[in-house]
Amino acid sequence: MIRFLLLIGFLLLSGCSTEQELTAARDIPAIPVKVTKVVGLDLERDIKATGLIAPLKEVTVSSEVGGRVKEANLKIGRWVNKGDILIKVDDELPKIALARAEAHLSQAKTALETARIQLQPAEKSAEIAGRNLERTSSLFTKENVSQSRLEGAEIEAASASAAARSAKTQIDLAKANLAEAEAGLSLTKKQLSDTVLTAPVSGFITRYNIEAGEMVAPGTPVADLIDISRIKVEIGLTQEEAVLIRKGQKVTFTCDPYPGEIFKGKISAIGPKARPASNLFPVEITARNPENKLRPGMVARVKIIYQTLRDEILIPQEVILKQSNQEYVFVAQAGEAEQRVVEVSDRIKGQALIRSGLTKGEILITSGHERIKDGDKIIEVGDDE
């Protein structure tokens, strides 16, 4: 009987304790948190760098001949087309030299023709003398002619053969003289042509060193020309960045004088070796510049997109907590905090790219998460935009 009463008393005390615990649990205040909905986002991963704009074509034009400049069409900023005349050098002496070369060529042609005319009879005489020697030798064998007649035939054949060889030599010499005269004529023609210096490319004159009336020597720089219809930008990238790009890849860049305007180009060259001074790999970017808006010396701010992510889960790095080498976040489930282990595949500019552990549509706790644990009651006090 006593045991029965003790059992009833214990059960009554246990029931009161459970009810008190439930009441106390209901009285625990919910922890205020901010949340956001997990959605798929697009992200472009890029490299940013700055470089100076330079002309794709830049040439220094030099005089090929010496003399006095009688005409100069040079002015800084002037646009010239390929073939336009830059300067004219006095051509009096080259014209005289050309006349002499033409006369020399005419003489060489005449000498060659004369040598060819003289060769034919010499060869004919050598042929006749040779046959006569054969006949005389045959008769001498039969003792029908004397020794002196044979010797005379031999002398005559040798003389005719020597004359024919001499005629052939004269032709060879005449041909050599003709070739020399033709080369001399070509040279004097070029020298006369070089008295007129023309633009090898289309472009702007950026510098010139000669005025009309001044003397110029062969090889003297006359003017600098740049073609900015196409420009280039050279930037330097670290070894980690250099392996992420490729030749031919499209890029965009901006230039401070044109705020809000985006220019397009492509990677035309990637240096195989880093520069010792900076330890950066040189990268050349080329772009069209049809309106000549971009000028050498301007600063270009380059953006190279090397990866585009589509519909990926990205969350702020600061919402991720770590314990025992595991990274986790809290999501809101029916008014309670649920701890969720996540796997991060990459971190990009303060954002964590989630490989697993979260799905789109879930409610991620973004503020107040440091004060909660798994199963805690929470109350949403606003969205974290």
Question: What DSSP assignment string belongs to 179-228?
Answer: HHHHHHHHHHHHHHHTTEEE-SS-EEEEEE---TT-EE-TT-EEEEEEEE
Q: At 382, list the tokens.
A: 């606003």
Question: Looking at the predicted structure, is the pLDDT value of residue 25 above 80?
Answer: no
Question: Looking at this protein, which amino acid is placed at residue 279?
Answer: N
Name the pairing type of β-strands 299-316 and 351-356.
Answer: antiparallel
Instruction: State the pLDDT at residue 302.
Output: 97
pLDDT at residue 123 tops 80:
no
Determine the Cα angle at 370 with ends 368 and 376, to 5°.
75
Mean per-residue pLDDT, 124-153: 75
pLDDT at site 23: 47
pLDDT of residue 10: 43
* Predicted confidence (pLDDT) per residue in 260-275, tens digit: 999 999 999 999 999 9
| pLDDT bracket for residue 128 (50, 70, 90) | confident
Helices 92-141 and 147-193, packing angle to 10 deg: 160
Looking at the predicted structure, is the pLDDT value of residue 307 above 90? no
Q: What is the pLDDT of residue 374?
A: 92
Which residue type does 328 have? Y
Exposed, middle or buried by CB within 10 Å (0-12, 13-18, 19+), for 158?
Answer: middle
Q: Which neighbouring-strand residues pair with 292?
A: none
Cα atoms in the 13 Å half-sphere on the side-chain side of 12: 6
pLDDT tens by residue, 150-201: 778 778 878 778 877 877 888 888 889 989 999 999 999 999 999 999 999 9
- Domains in the chain, ordered, with CATH? 28-42+311-383 (2.40.420.20), 49-58+227-309 (2.40.30.170), 91-191 (1.10.287.620)
Residues contacting residue 368 through CB under 8 Å, at least 6 positions apart: 31, 32, 33, 34, 378
Whether the predicted pLDDT of 279 surpasses 50: yes
Q: How far apart are CA 118 and CA 152, in angstroms?
A: 24
Closest CA to 326 of 348, 306, 341, 309: 341
The residues with which 274 forms a beta bridge, in sequence order, are: none
Strands (E), the chain: 31-37, 40-62, 67-72, 79-80, 85-89, 196-198, 203-208, 215-216, 221-237, 250-255, 263-270, 281-288, 299-316, 321-323, 326-333, 336-341, 343-348, 351-356, 363-367, 378-383
Q: Which of 16-30, 110-124, 298-312 shows the highest mean pLDDT?
A: 298-312
Residue 343 corresponds to which tokens in the numbers above? 């796997």
DSSP run (H or E) holding 157: helix 147-193
Q: Which helix (H) or strand (E) holds 19?
A: helix 2-27
* Length, in residues, of the chain: 385
Distance CA 324, CA 56 (A): 57
Query: How does 318-345 read in b/e, with b if 16+ C-beta sit within 10 Å?
Result: ebbeeeeeebbbbbbeeeebbbbebeee
Q: How far apart are CA 84 and CA 77, in angstroms?
A: 15
pTM score above 0.95: no
Weakest mean pLDDT among 118-122, 212-216, 225-229: 118-122
Query: Regarding beta strands 31-37 and 378-383, do their DSSP bridges make them parallel or antiparallel, or are they unpaired?
Result: parallel
Rounded CA separation 316/319 (Å): 6
Residue 349 neighbours by CB distance under 10 Å: 9
